[in-house]
Amino acid sequence: MTEFADRLLAWFEVHGRSDLPWQRDVTAYRVWVSEIMLQQTQVQTVIPYFRKFVVRFPDVASLAGADQDDVLRRWSGLGYYARARNLHKAAQIVVARHAGIFPQQFADVVALPGIGRSTAGAILALAAGQRHAILDGNVKRVLARHEMIAGWPGKASVAESLWAAAERNTPASAVARYTQAIMDLGATLCTSSKPCCDACPVSRDCRALAANAVPDFPGRKTRKPKPLRQTTMILASVDGRVFLQRRPEAGIWGGLWSLPELGERSLQDWCTEVLKTDVTGRDSWELLRHSFSHYDLDIQPIVVRIAARPGKVADADCETWHRLEDVPPGGIAAPVKKLLDQLKRFENAAHR
């Protein structure tokens, strides 16, 4: 065992996190769900979602047998919805190819949708004690600073150096504790801003600290200004219901239920073509801005009043007249939920 690992494990025994929900009743399934949820999401945000998710889907079989709408509904608000779709698909593969038992071979795990090298290593290390290095965002930061590995980790040569450091420091024993320890170190002390170097168990030979250059590591990608996109969302409402459409699987909010977007058509043409009715009134609400990782989106909400709700929708799998008082039919993106809540308040106030 390296001195780095030895000091990290000693620190973990006293200061490590041991009361996270997925650290109780440890199974490969629970660790897998937590690792997917934790991708690009903070622990405190994940905890309530994880708890509710594993109550509804306590094992691989229950997740595999669920409707995608139900899975996405439990994911609503957590973001990065491709994670939920891949989790669902992977559960179905585990049932079909592995008899419902989460695989224990690295090659089988990394072949599942939504699982890369680091996530596969983390699952097998934490759930089965297998020796696999990991390299999530926290670990990249710790190793880049400790070994003063320059450059943006997304660059292949930099990633290769970080993986070499991760492999070199991962011990042959106590792998589960070491894996949790190095993640905890990055999450609690070796943070991206205001790191607590004085309390760090591996600070005495941290090369970036010795060079007074901790903030410079890891290197950052040159950022360009995020582009701004615009769309118009239609809140067609009548009799306490609102018209929703399921989004295509590909693209943002794939598979989620959403408010329809106007596109290039006029509002009257859209109502005639889609709802088979005329517009009797309209209100424009204030712009709602939603930020994605690569661009910002300005949403112009338009509330449309129509004479009557059409009797049937064209495709019940992709369109519905949703009662505002009911649970959503599936997953709903955060800005869409915000608009639906606003519409519900608006409708309730109008009927007082």
Q: Which residues carry out catalysis?
A: 35
Side-chain-facing half-sphere of 79: CA atoms under 13 Å: 12
CB neighbours of residue 325 within 10 Å: 10
